[in-house]
Structure 1
Amino acid sequence: MATDIPLANLKEPIDFAEYLFTRIKQLGIQSIHGLPGDYNLVTLDYVPKVGLTWAGNVNELNAGYAADGYARVKGAGCVVTTFGVGELSAVNALAGCYSEFVPVAHIVGTPSTRSIRNNMLLHHTLGNGDFNVFANMSKQISCAVANLFEPHDAAQQVDNVLREMMLQSRPVYITVPSDLSSKKVEGERLKTPIDFSYPANDLEKEEYVVDVVLKYLHAAKNPVILVDACAIRHRAVAETNEFVRKSGLPTFCAPMGKGAVDETLPNYGGVYAGDGSNENVREIVESSDLVLSIGAIKSDFNTTGFTYQISQLQTIDFHSNYVRVRWSEYPGIRMNGVLKKVTERMGKLNVSPTPAFSNKVAAVDQGDLNGEITQAWLWPTVGQWLQPHDVVLTETGTANFGIWETRFPKGVVAASQVLWGSIGWSVGACQGAALAAKELGDNRTILFVGDGSFQLGAQEVSTMIRRNLKPIIFCICNDGYTIERFIHGEDAEYNDIQEWKNKELLNVFGADPKKSKTFTVKTKQQLLDLFADKEFSSAPYIQFVELYMPKMDAPKSLAITCEVAAKNNAKQ
């Protein structure tokens, strides 16, 4: 068993689980996702004791997705699972958090220290006496691991991994043996908040990098700014937006960077993603003699199949741990301080016109309002309906690509899983995001998910109902996995799904008919009428919309990306 710390050695004794969840609460987390299991039950007793809410979920995969969505809105998330069977179900979700720089604490209840020491043949194990096997798996998708055993260093280890979680913006893994939860640790530590401030750049190096950046910036005749996801994940949004505002330079975002820039600014010009970009956007970015790239993640889906046409000789990259000016890299220099100083000192720049980008539907895409809804018509129309500070989630597929053509009102939070791309992510993430939005003031949470993707996580709607959340869910009914059809197997059976009566699921999951509503929309006019409905738009309760669209209609950017993916998949 774990060795107790003598009480005489503790100034303010506190149970370890209370210490752990108090630290979680100090991160700004108010709700814990996960599922109970016999190895974590005692630990879960401490959740309400420290004033946290147990959100609960229907399975561990969805719980991980929910913690992901919650963290994207609140800044950090937490999921609790049980040893082996529970934690392995959550691994896919936590891998997505690692891939996309989302800080989530994964707390795993494990067998008691006595059981581990005695190599007992326990349930939820592999039967080989190896109690570290699952922790070793999670090391690959965690930026820090606290495999706890003794109370004497447990509190310190918790503080260390949570600090790494926030600094690296990636998940961490914490084991809590069932008998460790009630062991006493030093509670006085809780009076000192964990320091999450980034280490300051070396001043001399930072000044040099700033001078180099300014040299090229002032020499440029038509510079542009391109913002991506790591500006959000590594807490550089404030510095980025101040740079964008003060410079007045034409500014674009990559798909994963949607929401990083205030899109109401006059110099915001839309999404740049190589060949998938609007033609005006592509021409301005690719003809620029200097691209100021902030927080780039140049993955295939984020670049429309690696179709960026930007030379590194005309690029300055700002990142969380280095700045690269053309081919010269300056390691250890964080973008925040550099961006701030460049903004303060840049003075007058050569500013080119920004291309017009609005939510007006192009004349060629208008069509008959009594006709079927198309992707080209839908997304600008959605942009006209969105409100400031909405939380908008888009599932991997047509929605993920279509949202590029939507200009957001001020303060909209965008959440999508462009890099990891786990189909079904968005339903669980919507539950977490809606809960976080409720805690922040009940901002609208809106989900666009395909009918195939919806089937992977549909049961999480029951958690939304149980927690009295009020998302508006648009289920795009286009008969299966459209994104897969574009990659390979347009008519293949493996891309087909069983058609569900989706609207009936709210009733199946126990929703109060007076506190929920469902809709079926098949024409443009029907969607316009729905958007004009003030009650619907006020999001007073959970609402589900079946949104019918053609089977093989997709945004141009999706078609291009899938064509490249298909070619890459087929290469020997």
Structure 2
Amino acid sequence: MSISLSPSQQEISRLKREVSTLQQEAHGRDFGEPIYVGNYLLARLEQLGVTHMFGVPGDFNLGFLDLVEDDPKMEWVGNCNELNASYAADGYARVKWRSIGVLLTTFGVGELSAINGLAGAFSEHVPVLHIVGVPSTTQMKTKPMLHHTLGDGRFDAYEKAAAQFTIAQAHPMTKETIAAEIDRVLTTCITTARPVYLTLPTDLVYAKIPSGRLLTPLQAIPPQNNPDEEAFILDEIVKLIREAKGEVVILVDACAVRHHVIEETRELVKRTGFPVYSAPMGKGAMIERDERFGGIYVGSLTREDIKEKVENAKLILSIGSLKSDFNTGNFTYSIPTARTVELHSDHTKVRYAYYPNIVMKHLLPKLTARLEPMAPKASQLPVASFDPITPPDEPSPVITHDWLWPRIGKFLRSKDVVVAETGTSSFGILEVPLPEDAVCVSQILWGSIGYTVGSTLGAALAARETKMNRTILFVGDGSLQLTVQEISVMIKTGVTPILFVLNNSGYTIERHLHGWERKYNDITNWKWTELFSLFQGSTSKPKGKSYTVYTKTDLDELLSNEEFASAKEIQLVEVIMDKFDAPRALRRQAELSGKMNRYVPLSPTQ
């Protein structure tokens, strides 16, 4: 888990950038063509690999939007609302590794609408830049009663709100400082994998500033570890592994993905042969059909064979853990601290000892080199089987979750991007082994229903850029109703996801948590297969195909159809399911959550 670089690290990084810039200026490279502030920001984003910007136009960002639209390397993706835009930026960043998501909103009304999406990105370690077009620097100082304000002169109210959900903020008021402020928040964004906030006053967008700083790339890699401390820690870890006689299990989690150590972690597994498992938020980080991958560990919710292998290991090497309730089976990890080594993006823990600023990015390759001689024995350690499950032979034609997810496992292909909505889908996908280089996008910690619809748009655009395969969304009917408008933007941008709508007549995850028969868990049933005609308006050639499947045979035949599976156009599949049915893991999680929430009246003596 990462919160931020230490103050000393941040200062060292900043000073290095400033020294480099001063050196360039001394050599006369900063006296080229001046550049607009808006173009400077776009150039920095393009250096980070950003080619799409999400958001909604508003009068305080329109001048900057002219530059965005005229930039040949940046595509403006106008969203239906700011919340969806923030979800899309999140999904884009998750699929386009080593880049960031970017959204643009206007002052007050726009930025507040986006905050829920930014909070999710903060919670789940996703790098997103939120640009807010604000009034001129003069108005920000004099505070007139402008539209989009609270009418009481508190122009900083929104900045204070943003500070709760972003790791760094910049409010530049002069052209002399704005380039340094842009660089500062972007560097923090890429090094901490957290969202950041930048206000852009209307009168600074077209201010001319020197362009020389652009010659110095932003530093994305964390500072090197202290060599003496790192050597000591490596010795300690190797000693513990030897004491465990090599009976070690690797457990991979979310921050291995967010902080870009997937390659280093896969190399560790490849060169040592130690068994490897994932937490739910780390799903997709490892090659799940590799013989050394044993499955998903979720505490007491775990399949018994997987649970036994992980919890009986003499030592757990944990990489990038994020121990939230749904990620740990309601905190039921049975892994004592005394048998755990934790590697993180900003610290390392060896049993009870805590070492700040010893980062896994630099530690992992050296640990791999030290452990490689143990490969002959490590590769013989037994691993639980995570082979694709055969769909059960159920007599009923009704589509059940026990049947659905194994069948979906047969449908998935290499390099697919699988987006699973909070609820039945995010739990159902856990037991589906992903093909090689497939990516799984879900929001297990923040858990905002409707997130995946906007996220699918961003993920699909990133997948198209990075030559991934299909983008496939699994979303419940209740969740889809929150953010359904973004299907219109999918059609506009030409992405071709497959949208599986699990129609179970409402909020099934909530039914299992509480209110089994309550009306508040019901929703209005829409005509789902008519959405495409609604969202593309009048057109001579309608885009997309829609299907409704009622039985296992219906769905099996559709999934086996190569034209459908090729995903050459956007498609929606309404899957009719029983409103009380749910995946095994969700049922068990609901039991644990119900006990924790204790939604029962207390007796007078309690």
Aligned to 1:332: 357
Provide the C-alpha distance between the structure 1 equivalents of 2:91 and 2:481, rounded to a whole number of angstroms.
Answer: 18
Task: Give the partner amino acid of 1:112.
Answer: S
Provide the C-alpha distance between the structure 1 equivalents of 2:304 and 2:186, rounded to a whole number of angstroms.
Answer: 44
Unaligned runs of 5+ in 2: 1-29
Contact between 1:359 and 1:381, CA under 8 Å: does it hold in 2? no
Between 1:549-558 and 1:91-100, the stretch displaced more is 549-558
Aligned to 1:501: 527
Aligned to 2:393: 366
Contact between 2:259 and 2:345, CA under 8 Å: does it hold in 1? yes
Aligned to 1:125: 149
Between 1:81-90 and 1:323-332, the stretch displaced more is 323-332
1:220 aligns with 2:244: yes
Unaligned runs of 5+ in 1: 1-8
Provide the C-alpha distance between the structure 2 equivalents of 1:442 and 1:326, rounded to a whole number of angstroms.
Answer: 39
Q: 1:72 aligns with which of 88, 94, 98?
A: 94
Q: Please give the secondary structure, in 2, of the residue aligned with 1:359.
A: coil
Identity of aligned residues (%): 47
Equivalence map 1:506-517=2 (5 Å): 506-510=532-536, 515-517=543-545
- Taking structure 1 as the reference length, what is the TM-score of the superposition? 0.96
Q: Please give the secondary structure, in 1, of the residue aligned with 2:133.
A: strand
Equivalence map 1:157-168=2 (5 Å): 157-168=181-192
Q: 1:24 aligns with which of 21, 33, 45?
A: 45
Q: 1:188 aligns with which of 208, 212, 224?
A: 212
Provide the C-alpha distance between the structure 2 equivalents of 1:124 and 1:62, rounded to a whole number of angstroms.
Answer: 20
Aligned to 1:4: none
Provide the C-alpha distance between the structure 2 equivalents of 1:506 and 1:525, rounded to a whole number of angstroms.
Answer: 25
1:262 aligns with 2:262: no
1:395 aligns with 2:421: yes
Contact between 1:225 and 1:250, CA under 8 Å: does it hold in 2? yes
Contact between 2:284 and 2:440, CA under 8 Å: does it hold in 1? yes
User: Shift of residue 238 of structure 1?
Assistant: 0.8
Between 1:145-154 and 1:552-561, the stretch displaced more is 552-561
Q: Please give the secondary structure, in 2, of the residue aligned with 1:333.
A: coil
Provide the C-alpha distance between the structure 1 equivalents of 2:343 and 2:555, rounded to a whole number of angstroms.
Answer: 41
Provide the C-alpha distance between the structure 2 equivalents of 1:218 and 1:503, rounded to a whole number of angstroms.
Answer: 59
Contact between 2:55 and 2:78, CA under 8 Å: does it hold in 1? yes
Provide the C-alpha distance between the structure 1 equivalents of 2:363 and 2:203, rounded to a whole number of angstroms.
Answer: 48
Contact between 1:91 and 1:138, CA under 8 Å: does it hold in 2? yes
Task: Give the partner amino acid of 1:57.
Answer: N
Contact between 1:380 and 1:407, CA under 8 Å: does it hold in 2? no
Task: Give the partner amino acid of 1:13.
Answer: P
Aligned to 1:204: 228
Equivalence map 1:6-405=2 (5 Å): 11-50=32-71, 51-75=73-97, 76-221=100-245, 222-346=247-371, 347-348=373-374, 350-351=377-378, 352-361=381-390, 365-368=392-395, 371-405=397-431
Aligned to 2:579: 551
User: Shift of residue 301 of structure 1?
Assistant: 0.6
User: Shift of residue 264 of structure 1?
Assistant: 2.5
Provide the C-alpha distance between the structure 2 equivalents of 1:399 and 1:250, rounded to a whole number of angstroms.
Answer: 27
Aligned to 2:4: none
- Taking structure 2 as the reference length, what is the TM-score of the superposition? 0.91
Task: Give the partner amino acid of 1:558.
Answer: L
Task: Give the partner amino acid of 1:521.
Answer: V
Contact between 2:251 and 2:318, CA under 8 Å: does it hold in 1? yes
Provide the C-alpha distance between the structure 2 equivalents of 1:197 and 1:317, rounded to a whole number of angstroms.
Answer: 20
1:30-65 deviation per Cα after TM superposition (whole angstroms, max 9, x unaligned) = 000000000000011111333200011000000000
Task: Give the partner amino acid of 2:67.
Answer: Y
Q: 1:538 aligns with which of 548, 566, 573?
A: 566
User: Shift of residue 335 of structure 1?
Assistant: 1.1
Task: Give the partner amino acid of 1:354.
Answer: V
Task: Give the partner amino acid of 2:241.
Answer: L
Provide the C-alpha distance between the structure 1 equivalents of 2:419 and 2:172, rounded to a whole number of angstroms.
Answer: 36
Aligned to 1:415: 441
Q: Please give the secondary structure, in 1, of the residue aligned with 2:78.
A: coil
Task: Give the partner amino acid of 1:436.
Answer: A
Contact between 1:71 and 1:103, CA under 8 Å: does it hold in 2? yes
Contact between 1:17 and 1:182, CA under 8 Å: does it hold in 2? yes
Task: Give the partner amino acid of 1:74.
Answer: K
1:363-387 deviation per Cα after TM superposition (whole angstroms, max 9, x unaligned) = xx3213x611111121121111111
Provide the C-alpha distance between the structure 1 equivalents of 2:362 and 2:196, rounded to a whole number of angstroms.
Answer: 26
Provide the C-alpha distance between the structure 1 equivalents of 2:345 and 2:141, rounded to a whole number of angstroms.
Answer: 41
User: Shift of residue 109 of structure 1?
Assistant: 0.3
Provide the C-alpha distance between the structure 2 equivalents of 1:216 and 1:548, rounded to a whole number of angstroms.
Answer: 52
User: Shift of residue 514 of structure 1?
Assistant: 5.0
Between 1:195-204 and 1:28-37, the stretch displaced more is 195-204
Task: Give the partner amino acid of 1:313.
Answer: A
Q: Please give the secondary structure, in 2, of the residue aligned with 1:515.
A: coil
User: Shift of residue 361 of structure 1?
Assistant: 2.0
Aligned to 1:6: none
Task: Give the partner amino acid of 2:83.
Answer: L
Provide the C-alpha distance between the structure 2 equivalents of 1:44 and 1:514, rounded to a whole number of angstroms.
Answer: 30
Between 1:310-319 and 1:167-176, the stretch displaced more is 310-319
Between 1:237-246 and 1:93-102, the stretch displaced more is 237-246
Contact between 2:107 and 2:148, CA under 8 Å: does it hold in 1? yes
User: Shift of residue 553 of structure 1?
Assistant: 1.1
Provide the C-alpha distance between the structure 2 equivalents of 1:523 and 1:357, rounded to a whole number of angstroms.
Answer: 27
Contact between 1:10 and 1:185, CA under 8 Å: does it hold in 2? no
Task: Give the partner amino acid of 2:206.
Answer: S
Contact between 1:65 and 1:425, CA under 8 Å: does it hold in 2? yes
Provide the C-alpha distance between the structure 2 equivalents of 1:269 and 1:521, rounded to a whole number of angstroms.
Answer: 33
User: Shift of residue 191 of structure 1?
Assistant: 2.0
Root-mean-square deviation (CA), in Å?
Answer: 1.4
Contact between 1:392 and 1:415, CA under 8 Å: does it hold in 2? yes
User: Shift of residue 11 of structure 1?
Assistant: 4.4
Contact between 2:53 and 2:77, CA under 8 Å: does it hold in 1? yes
Task: Give the partner amino acid of 1:528.
Answer: D
Aligned to 1:527: 555
Aligned to 1:3: none
Provide the C-alpha distance between the structure 1 equivalents of 2:590 and 2:481, rounded to a whole number of angstroms.
Answer: 22
User: Shift of residue 442 of structure 1?
Assistant: 5.5
Contact between 1:448 and 1:476, CA under 8 Å: does it hold in 2? yes
Provide the C-alpha distance between the structure 1 equivalents of 2:527 and 2:449, rounded to a whole number of angstroms.
Answer: 20
Provide the C-alpha distance between the structure 2 equivalents of 1:70 and 1:305, rounded to a whole number of angstroms.
Answer: 29
Contact between 2:533 and 2:542, CA under 8 Å: does it hold in 1? no
Contact between 1:275 and 1:557, CA under 8 Å: does it hold in 2? no
